[in-house]
Amino acid sequence: MTTGAKRAFKYRFYPTAAQAAELSRTFGCVRKVYNLALQARTQAWTLHQERINYNATSAMLTAWKKTEELAYLNEVAAVPLQQALRHLQAAFTNFFAKRARHPHFKSRKKSRKSAEYTTSAFRFRDGKLTLAKMAEPLNIVWSRPLPTNAKPSTVTISQDSAGRWFVSLLCEDPGITPLPSHGTAIGVDAGLDHLLTLSTGEKITNPRHERRDRARLARAQRELSRKAEGDGANRAKARRKVARVHARIADRRRDTLHKLTTRLVRENQVVVIEDLTVRNLLKNHKLARAISDAAWSQFRRMLEYKAAWYGREVIAVDRWFPSSKLCSVCGTLTETMPLNVRSWTCGCGAVHDRDVNAARNILAAGLAVSACGAGVRPGRSTPSRPSALKQENPRCEP
């Protein structure tokens, strides 16, 4: 049987009181070990210009367990604590490679609650999953089947801010194989009025999930604001209500993006998008809420990993490429194009829908990138289309 790529299958589960208490202790110990190791590595570099690796922090963990102050670390499974150190090592590796920021300390209130178990710390037999330090298997809701003869390599337990418990099983999925190749390519223009506009002329409606639940979210937040800081149980209950509304919005948004990205990858060999810097766009406080709701970054991440799964290609066109101001028929570059202009007529007589025209230009630029292997920059001198799409390699023609 052909081995597919690794894929995580996520399910909800409902722990018993004893299991919930054990997992909560594990989350706390994972956070404690991560923070202690981060503190040790930071101090070693600050004071002695010394880098501490995973092996050194693993030895520290052994020593911590023997102290009276941290003896409680022995009460939980050892593997999640070791995995926390590996995650910290990966975080520093990404930081030194300039792929991420410096690791930060985990917060009891704000950080994600999770623990990762490897094969030595769980047992999976006959569809039942039992974790280390637990006598009973987890009560998992199998909303979809695992691949036939699946053998999870890692299991991640997490709890979101709404109090929901999840288990994620990482397995080899033989169903992930390259799809039959075909010559279809499509350009995608992301927007707010329409979530996506395709070069075929199709416009995909923006569901605006956050706006649909805005009244419910505002009501829950008002109730939370009326609870005093020290009002423990009541404030926690109000906080969970807010978290449940946020979770409902995030779930719907994720479902929509999964369906869209799967469709685009299955129907097209090449998908061309814009290389948007969402972090900078969010500085526009008038549009930040709508941009966050559109989740363009999440859309791109899904599109890229699914394209890698199924043998497709995703091309990102330079963010400065003037896709909206360039006529897709004659190549004339208009000097200005305010956001309120949704349709315009070129001097050649072509009447353009702003978004459809942009998607077509993005497609043309992406195909030029694919052919030349260089970045696309906006034209500066002449308005002709060849100049606007010219690559860094002057001998390459679009």
Which residue is it, tokens 């300039």?
98
In the residue annotation, 274 being an active-site residue is answered as yes
380 DSSP 8-state letter: -
d(CA 298, CA 257): 8
Of residues 22, 172, 274, 293, which has the active-site annotation? 274
The radius of gyration of the chain from alpha carbons, rounded to an integer in Å, stands at: 26
Query: Is 126 a known active-site residue?
Result: no
β-strand partners of 138: none
- Name the burial class of residue 268, with classes exposed (0-12), middle (13-18) and buried (19+) by CB atoms within 10 angstroms of its CB: buried
Q: Is 20 exposed, middle or buried (0-12, 13-18, 19+ CB in 10 A)?
A: middle
Tell me how far apart the alpha carbons of residues 121 and 124 are, in angstroms, rounded to a whole number. Answer: 10
Set 172, 173, 189, 293: catalytic member: 189
First-to-last C-alpha distance (Å) of the chain? 43
**With the CA atoms of 249, 252, 257 and 259 taken in that order, what torsion angle do they form, in degrees rounded to the nearest 10?**
180
Catalytic residue among 22, 173, 210, 355: 355
| Active site annotation includes 392 | no
DSSP-H helix ranges across 226-314: 232-267, 278-281, 288-294, 296-310
Q: Kindly list the catalytic residues.
A: 189, 274, 355
